[in-house]
Structure 1
Amino acid sequence: MSHRQVRPRESREWEIRTGNGPVRATSPVPRETWARVLAADPGAMVFHLPEWLDCLCAVGGWKDAGRLYRTGDGRELVLPMVCRPARPHLLAVRASLPPGWGTGGILAPGGVRPEEVDLILADLVTDRALRTRLRPSFDAAYAWPGPAPGFVSVPRTVHVLDLDGGMDAIWSKRWSANTRRHMRVAERRAEEAGLIIETGNSPQLVEHFYDLYLRWLDRLARERHVPPVVMRRRGRRSEPLAKFHAVAAALPGACRIRVATVEGRPVAAMITLLHGEVGVYWRGYSDKETAGRLRANYLLHLRSIEEACDAGCRYYEMGESGGIASLEQFKVRLGGEERPLTEYRLEREPLTRLQGRMDGIRGAAEHWISERGTEGP
C-alpha cells in the first residue's frame, strides 16, 4: 500500500546567540544531513527515521517541522519534530513526537550532550506555539534535565530488556526459571494446537493484526460497560488502519508483523520495529481466551527477541504500560527493567492540568457505569 508523498515545507533559517558563539538553525532538516547525523547516533531508533516522520505526516495530518542546529564547533544536532499549524500561530501544536507515534528527542553524533539539550530547549521557549511536546528516548534520558525552565515535566517509565550476550545470556541470566518454563510450555502447546506464526509486513498481515485490535476493543467495551460502537469509533480514531499500512509499506526492513493463527484464525499478533541497536515492541493484541491458554504472547515475544538478537540489537524496548499492573508484570517476566524518562511540555495555556481533569471525569464516569452494571448512553 502506498501513501502520499509529503511535500517539503519552505525552509527558514535563524541564528541563536550563545556564550560559545552563534548557532545556526534550519527548518526543516535537509534529508542528507538527517541521514548523516542519524547514522552517527548510537541511540537512534526507528522513530527517528525520516521515513517514520513521512508516515506520521501522511496519516496524521501533521507537517514536517524538524530542526537542524549547527554549533560553533561544527556539531550537527537534529530534532525530528512535526507541527499542526493553525491560524493564529498561537494555536499551533508541535511534537517530537505525537502520542501513539513513539519517542522523539535530539539526534547527535555520539549522542546528545546536556548542554546541547539546554540550547535547544531555550530556543523552543521563544516559539509561541500553543503547545510543544518533547519525549526523548530512554537511551538519551541521561542528557535531559529534570525540571526545565518554562516546561511542564511529566515522568514516564518504559521497560527495556538488555540483549547483551544474545539469547544464551537472556536464558541463563535475565529470565527466571518461571519465565523459561512459560516459554517451553508455549512452544509445546503451540505444536500440539497446530499454531502457526507468520512473519512479514504484507497488507494481509496488517489486516489480521487490525482485526485483533478491533476484537480487543470489543472486549474492553464489555469490561467497561461501554457500547462497542463507541469504543470502536474512539479506537479507530486514535489508531487508524491506514497508520499500520503506511508503516508496513514505508519500512519493510524495519517493520515486522507476527500473527499467530490456529486453524486459520488469528489469535495473537504483534508488531516490532528494528533499527540500529534498538528493537521496539510497538503494538500487540490477542484473543485473550485462546492466546492465554496457549501462551501465544510469550511465543511471539520469544521469536521477536530472537530476531532482535540476530539483527545485532543491544536493547528490546517494550514501551510504557499505562499503569496496568498485569502488563508491567508481564514485561518484568520477560526481563524488562524499568528505565525512567521525562516528557517535556511547553504550554501557553495549562493544557496538561486541564487534560488531567478531563481524564479524571471520564474515568469516574466509566467507573460509575461499571458499578451500575448498565450500558452507557
Structure 2
Amino acid sequence: MNTPAELLIDTAAGPAHVTTPAPRGTWWDLAARDPDTSVTQTPTWLDCLCETGPYRDASRLYVFPDGGRIVLPLVNRGRRPRQLDAEESWPAGWGIGGPLTPGDVTPEQARALFDDLAHRPALRVGVRFRPQGAELWQRAAPATFRLEPHMTQAVDLDGGFGTLWQDRFHSRVRRDVRRAEKAHVDVEVDRTGRLVPVFQELYEQSIERWAAQQHEPLALARWRRRREFPTGRLAAVAARFGASCAVWVAWNAGEPAASIVVLRHGPHAKFWRAAMNRDVAHPVRATPLLYRLAIEEACEQGCRIFDLGESAPGSSLEHFKAGFGAESRPSPRYWRERLPVSTVERVLRTAVKRAIRFQDA
C-alpha cells in the first residue's frame, strides 16, 4: 500500500486537508454512514482492481473546515510518468466509483473536488458518478471536464419480492420463470469460489457467441474480452468478498446452462457478470430464473436496491432488465485530458470496426 501523503489546499469551501491514499478506517466509516454506498465504492473493490490489474491506490480523503468529509475512490497505474498516467474512478469495465460521504455535499465542496482533480498532473482524470446526487455534481463540473453520459438500471426492492413479482415483473418474465421451473432446471449458489471454474467455462462459450453476433474474429474477441475480464479476476473477487460474492449456476440435465455473479454491500446488491451456453440455457429459460432467484434473495436479506448495471438505451439488454422492474437512472462520467488521447483511441477503434465489419450487439 502507498505511504499516505497529506496536504492542505485552498478551495471554495475553505482550506481542506487532503490525504492520499485515503485511510482505510475512515473510508470504511464513511461507507457505513453513507446509505448510498455501492459495492463498487468500497475498499474491497479497489483491492480487487489492484490485485488483477496494473493499478495502485490513489484514493483521496477530503476534510473541510465544517467537518465535512469526502472519500474519492481513485486508482492510477503508478509505473508510468505522472504526466502520462491516468487517474480514474474507475477504469473502463469496473463500474461506478465516485465520491462517498456520510452527509450532504455542499456546492462549494463539490467544486473543490473538481478543482483539485483539475490540477492533478495526470494526463487523464475521470470519475464515474453514481445516480444519487448526480445533479449536484453536474452543476459543479467545470467546463474543462467533459460529460460522458451513462445509464445504470436498478430495481427498487421496497415492498418485498411478492410486490415485485406481482406488480413490477413483466408478464413475459413470469412466464419464462415458470417455464424454467417446469423444465426442472437445477440451481445452486456458491459463496466459496467453488463454482468459479463453471462460470469461466460458460464465459468462454459466451465469447464465441458474442464474436459471431458482432462479426468479430474469434481471436480478436478472445484477446479483447480477456483483457477486459482476465482469467483469475472472478476468483480474486470471490476470495476478497467471501460470502458477499454469490456465484449462481443453473444446470439443465446435468449440464451448466447459465451463471450470474451477484455482489453485496450493506443494503445494495449488485449483478456483476453473466455467462451462458445459449443452446442449453435458452430453451428452458435458465437465465431469467437466475435473476428471479437472486432478486428474491436480495429482498430476503433486507437489501433496498438490486443494481443490474449499465445498458445502452434502447438495447435488447435494457429491455431484458426492464422486465424485472429495473429503472434507468443517469450515472455520468466526467473526464478531462491534457492531450486528445481518447479521441485518437476512438478513431482507431472505429477504423478497426469498419475494417472487420463489426456489428454492435
Report the counterpart of residue 221 of structure 1 in structure 2.
211
Offset at residue 87 of structure 1 (A): 4.5
Counterpart of 2:320, as a letter, is F
Kept after mapping to 1: 8 A contact 2:90/2:97: yes
Amino acid at match of 2:16: V
| 2:170 matches 1:170 | no
- Aligned with 2:143 (options 144, 149, 165): 149
Instruction: State the secondary structure of the residue aligned to 1:184.
Output: helix
Residue of 42, 49, 53 corresponding to 2:42: 49
Q: Secondary structure at the match of 1:270?
A: strand
Deviation of 1:52 after TM superposition, in Å, equals 1.4
Paired residue type of 2:221: M
CA distance in 1, matches of 2:210, 2:87: 31
Partner amino acid for 1:26? T
User: Which residue of 2 is the match for residue 373 of structure 1?
Assistant: none
User: Would the alpha carbon gap of residues 94 and 300 (structure 1) be closer, same or farther in structure 2, given more than 3 Å must change?
Assistant: same
SS at match of 1:103: coil
Structure 2: distance between partners of 1:308 and 1:302: 10
Work out which of the residue numbers 270, 291, 296 in structure 2 matches 1:306.
Answer: 296
**TM, length-normalised to structure 1:** 0.90
Query: Following the alignment from structure 2 to structure 1, what is the Cα–Cα distance between the partners of residues 224 and 253?
Result: 31
Give the distance between the partners of 2:343 and 2:91, measured in 1 at CA.
18
Residue number in structure 2 paired with 1:22: 15
The question of 1:230 aligning with 2:224 is answered no
Give 1:112 deviation, angstroms: 4.0
Q: CA deviation at 1:19?
A: 4.5
TM-score, length-scaled by structure 2: 0.94
Aligned to 2:128: 135
Partner of residue 28, structure 2: 35
Give the CA deviation at 1:305. 0.2
Q: How many residues align?
A: 359
Q: Which moved more, 1:141-150 or 1:266-275?
A: 141-150
Unmatched tracts of structure 1, length 5 or more: 1-7, 371-377
Distance 2:171 2:213 in 1: 33
| Equivalent position SS for 1:269 | strand
Paired-residue identity, % = 37
Residue 21 of structure 1, CA deviation = 2.6
Deviations 1:320-355 (A, max 9, x none): 124572111101111111111210112111233223
- Assess if the C-alpha contact under 8 Å between 2:126 and 2:335 holds in 1: yes
Q: Structure 1: which amino acid aligns with 2:176?
A: H
SS state at 1:104 partner = coil
Cα deviations by residue, 1:110-140 (Å, 9 ceiling, x for unpaired): 3544432221111010112011110012224
Q: In angstroms, what is the RMSD of aligned CA positions? A: 2.0
Task: Note the alpha carbon deviations across 1:61-110, whole angstroms, 9 max, x for none.
Answer: 20100000110011121111111124532001111111122211111013
For residues 314 and 259 of structure 2, what CA distance do their matches in structure 1 show?
Answer: 20
Matched, 1:79 2:72: yes
For the Cα contact (< 8 Å) 2:249–2:256, is it kept in 1? yes
Quote the Cα distance in structure 2 between the aligned partners of 1:368 and 1:13.
48
Unaligned runs of 5+ in 2: none
1:190-201 alignment, distance < 5 Å: 194-201=184-191
